[in-house]
Structure 1
Amino acid sequence: MKIIAYSYTDPLLETAPDLTIWGWEVDEIYQDLGDRQQLEQLFQDCHIQPVNYLLIRQLEELGDSVEEVCDRLTELEFLNIKIISLKSDIKINQDQAINRQATKTDLLKLLNQIRQNQHSRKIRQAHARNRMKAIPPPGKAPYGYRRGKDRYTLDRSAASVVKDFFERFLLFGSLRGAVRYIEKKHGKKISVTTGRRWLSSPVYRGDLQYQNGEVISNTHLPIISREEAAQVERLLRRNSSMPPRTASAPHSLAGLVVCRECESPMITARVTTFRKDREYLYLRPKSCSRKRKCKALAYQKILEQTIEIICRELPLAVAALEMPNMDGIKSKIKQHISEKQEILCQLPNLVANGIFDRETAELRTYKLKTEISQLESQFNQLPPVNLLETAKAVSIPQFWWDLSESERRFYLREFISIIEIIRQENSWDLEVIFIF
């Protein structure tokens, strides 16, 4: 008994399957990539030496149309070769249908399934060819852009709204605040979910992201710079670990302080005098579980001690870290990007000299651009400054007192994971836990 296997792979849509997928003791495997030369070789070999079984993933891999598939099924029937399909969604017995022992209804179902699968493949091939040319995906252009001939172009009035949205978020770190701001200033009402999608969308960075998740960089004019985009991503990561509604709280310690005794987060409470000519700030437990409730503490005193601890302990904590050589890492990534860009520049000459055909060059160009995008994303996620130098700068108390509350909130969350209040009988102390 002789068993062979055949697979067809469109390089625009997928990679060739692993040879172990067949799970049988296969005597010979035929694989086609982009054309069907190996399929023709398969038929020639079968005329010379009989074959009992042909393993295939799906019947539509035998041709580009229903007619081609039917012709090849007929030829396989003539050669008395039984087909075993591994990944078919068809609910009927295919062997019977192929050998004309099934009902006409079964045959119609089989042909209809093949036709639908091939139609879906043609649509995906068209989308893939557009990806090769860095043409935007189908559908309406994102807010802030218009769809041009082969790329997005800026919609000046809408782009200014998006720009203000990002600037507001970068200034205060508040998604909801930025949403309210553009509604008040520009009359543009969006949901918080839409705002979050704007912040994470590659489109506003000048990149295209397709349904398969791959990103191509620098395909159109960006609304925000790479530096701003990296800062947005850092703010989003930081805010994701904070309690709800503390990302844009007006006080810099919001969301950071926890009572060690009752394990409750501390929230800011404002108290005014009778005539409201003075205001006092306190931190009190949000939900103290103790019978004798933990007392509220003066906000300013906790802030002062927090800054004192940071100035004293942060440089020591950073110095104790085994920091990687960030300059070396950045230099290595830049070198990889440069190497791939050099290969891109060589592709037109390879096509002109007949070494590559146009389709192969387009596929290689697309893969290189997606690899460059991945490297650029890695580069942008690296810390923008040297942590040791930054720790020295922020260890000066006056640095903290010269900041506004929103600026102080930003820097505190850059370095601090949590601030624990350690209560004693008649006093209290703080333990500041850094993020590293």
Structure 2
Amino acid sequence: MKIVAYSYSDPLFEQPPERIIWGWEVDQVYHDLGGRQELEQLLKDCDLEPPEYLLIRRLEELGDSVLEVSNRLQKLESYQINIIAIESDFNPSVAQINRSDLMQLLIEIQNHQRSRRIRQGHAKNRIKALPPPGKAPYGYRRGKDRYILDRSVSPIVKEFFDRFLIYGSLRGAVRYLEKRYGKKISVTTGRRWLTNPVYRGDLEYQNGEIISNTHSPIISRDEAAQVDRLLRRNQRLPPRTASAPRSLAGLVTCGDCQSSMTISRVTAYRKNQEYLYLRPTNCSRNPKCKALSYQTVLELTIERICQDLPVSVSELNLPDLGCVKRGIFEQINQKQEILLQIPNLLTTGILDAETADLRTYKLRTEMAQLQGKLAQLPPVNLKETAQAVCIPQFWLDLSESERRFYFREFIHQIQIIRDGDNWDLKVLFIFEF
């Protein structure tokens, strides 16, 4: 018993199937990649020695139109071959299908082929680095072959990013847009803006691949890397504390009851003076852990940072960031050199236009991945930075919002350690986790 299999895939948007998908002991596999040469060879081989079974994934892979599929099905069945479509509900011979099922089969084939043509069109646009279908993101408008900055609203987007970079608060940046420009967006929309590759001059397609430097960006690469770092940092914090007015918000926990500590504000009767306290939000002890003066905890936190940060950083075995960055830059430059050679290969006929476009697309996506790795590296030398911020006056001269920003750059958690009525605190730094 001879069993053969046939499959067709478009290299623009599909990967060739694995041999194991057939689930049978297949004697030979015919696979077409963009053309129909292997299908023609299958038909020629059937003239000499037809197999007993032909496995295909779907019937529409036998042609680019319903007529082509029908003609090839009839020709294959003339060899008395049992055709099995492993991903279709229609496996019997076309001659044996009743009229209603045949109409349903033709409609199914037609729908699949229409979907394939749409995907092919999108894939061709993707390879040519054209914008995906749909409305242009806020701040841009559609040009002939790329996004173009909308000068009337792109400054609003830029100021949104600038506000987030200064204060590290997504909700604060959203509120600022509404107050300054009357532009109302949700926090979810703001987060999408921050992570959207379009604002960095890149295009992201439905398959998740990114092509870099396709149009004018609104933020620079350095700013984009800083945005990503702030978003990762804020994920570690409780909700809303990234935009809280106090610098210790979301960082302090009680070491005894393991409860997070919130900031309470108390005012004196008929006086403008206010007092701030840190108290456990969900203390399980009896009697409950006492509240602590916010100012006292803040001053002791600054003292601990100045004492412990340089020591902790000096004990770290940090990689040479310069060496890592140079390695990534070398890989990017190598791919850039290959990219520059493609026009000559096209002119000399070594590559055809379709292959050249596909190779260019793959190189640009690989370069975008390397740039992503580069953006994830720390922007500064941690040991040098630790020495610069270990001066108490540096922290005392900052406003609460500025201090909140820098605390989150270094601090993972502040633990209150109690001993009866006495207490102390321990600062746990981010790089220790």
Number of the residue aligned with 1:59 = 59
1:80 aligns with 2:80: yes
Equivalent residue letter for 1:74: Q
Alignment correspondent of 1:292: 287
Question: Matched residues in 2 for 1:292 and 1:40: separation?
Answer: 85
What corresponds to 2:381 in structure 1? Answer: 386
The match for 1:108 is 103
**Could you tell me which residue of structure 2 aligns to residue 211 of structure 1?**
206
Please tell me whether residue 165 in structure 1 is matched to residue 160 in structure 2.
Answer: yes
- 1:94 deviation in Å? 2.1
Select 2:91's aligned residue among 66, 91, 94. 94
State the SS of the aligned residue for 2:114. Answer: helix
Provide the residue aligned with 1:325 in structure 2. 320
1:386-429 CA-partner distances (Å, limit 9, x unpaired): 11111121222222222222222122111111111011112101
What is the aligned partner in structure 2 of residue 224 from structure 1? 219
The 2-side partners of 1:326 and 1:81 are apart by: 63
What's the offset of the Cα at 1:75? Answer: 0.6
For residue 26 of structure 1, what is the aligned residue in structure 2?
A: 26
* Equivalent residue number for residue 143 of structure 1: 138
**Root-mean-square deviation (Å):** 1.2
Give secondary structure in 1 for the equivalent of 2:84: strand
Residue 15 (structure 1) shift: 1.5
Aligned residue type for 2:206: Q
Residue by residue over 1:231-267, the C-alpha shift from the partner in whole angstroms, topping out at 9 and shown as x without a partner, is 1111111111211121111111110000112222111
Larger mean Cα displacement after TM superposition, 310-319 or 36-45: 310-319
Tell me the distance in 2 between the aligned counterparts of 1:266 and 1:251. Answer: 13
Structure 1 gap ranges (5+): none
Structure 2 stretches lacking a partner, 5+ long? none
SS in 2 for 1:295: coil
The equivalent of 2:417 in structure 1 is 422
In structure 1, the residue matched to 2:331 is 336
Aligned to 2:362: 367
Which one is further off, 323-332 or 371-380?
323-332
Report the Cα distance in structure 1 between the residues aligned to 2:359 and 2:339, rounded to whole angstroms: 8
Structure-2 separation of matches of 1:188 and 1:415: 33
- Identify the residue that residue 395 of structure 2 maps to in structure 1: 400
Structure-2-length-normalised TM-score: 0.97
Alpha-carbon separation, structure 1, partners of 2:315 and 2:408: 20
Q: Secondary structure at the match of 2:152?
A: helix
2:175 and 2:305 map into 1 onto residues whose CA distance is: 34
Is 1:254 paired with 2:259? no
> CA separation in 1, counterparts of 2:193 and 2:312?
36
How far is 1:433 from its partner?
Answer: 1.3
How far residue 431 of structure 1 moved from its aligned partner, in angstroms, is 1.4
Q: Percent identity?
A: 65
**Hey, what's the Cα distance between the residues in 1 that align with 2:16 and 2:97?**
33
2:349 to 326, 350, 354: 354
Distance 1:23 1:386 in 2: 55
Secondary structure in 2 aligned to 1:7?
strand
Q: Secondary structure at the match of 1:432?
A: strand
Shift of 1:44: 0.7
Aligned counterpart for 2:276 among listed residues 273, 281, 306:
281
Q: Distance in 2 between matches of 1:218 and 1:334?
A: 16
Distance, in Å, in 1 between the alignment partners of 2:117 and 2:258 is 59
Equivalent position SS for 2:253: strand
1:277 CA displacement: 3.7
**In structure 2, distance between residues paired with 1:264 and 1:55:** 62
The whole-number CA distance in structure 2 between the counterparts of 1:240 and 1:426 is 34
Counterpart of 1:13, as a letter, is: F
Q: Which 10-residue stretch deviates more, 137-146 or 283-292?
A: 283-292
2: CA distance between counterparts of 1:187 and 1:256? 33
- Return the letter of the residue paired with 2:4: I
Provide Cα deviations, 1:63-114, integer angstroms capped at 9, x if missing partner.
Answer: 11111111110110001111111222x3xx4214x2x122111111111101
> What is the CA deviation profile of residues 6-42 of structure 1, one whole-angstrom value per residue up to 9, with x for unaligned ones?
1111000112112222221111111111101111111
Match of 1:128 among 108, 123, 126: 123
For residues 332 and 83 of structure 1, what CA distance do their matches in structure 2 show?
A: 53
Local SS of the residue matching 2:290: coil
Q: 2:232 aligns with which of 214, 237, 242?
A: 237
| Deviation string, structure 1 residues 127-151 (Cα, Å, up to 9, x no partner) | 1111111111111111111111111
Whether 1:155 and 2:150 are equivalent positions in the alignment is yes
Alignment-mate amino acid for residue 83 of structure 1? I
**Which letter maps to 1:2?**
K
Question: Aligned partners of 1:244, 1:276: CA distance in 2, in Å?
Answer: 32
Q: Which residue of 2 aligns with 1:196?
A: 191
Q: What is the DSSP-based 3-state SS (H/G/I as helix, E as strand, rest coil) of the residue aligned with 1:95? A: coil
**What amino acid maps onto 1:94 in structure 2?**
N
SS of aligned partner of 1:261 = coil
SS at match of 1:156: coil
Moved over 4 A (4+): none
Deviation sequence 1:287-328 (CA, Å, 0-9, x none): 222221211111111112111211222222222222122111
Secondary structure (helix, strand or coil) at the match of 1:157 reads: coil
Aligned length: 431
Q: Supply the AA of the counterpart residue of 1:413.
A: R
Shift of 1:180: 1.3
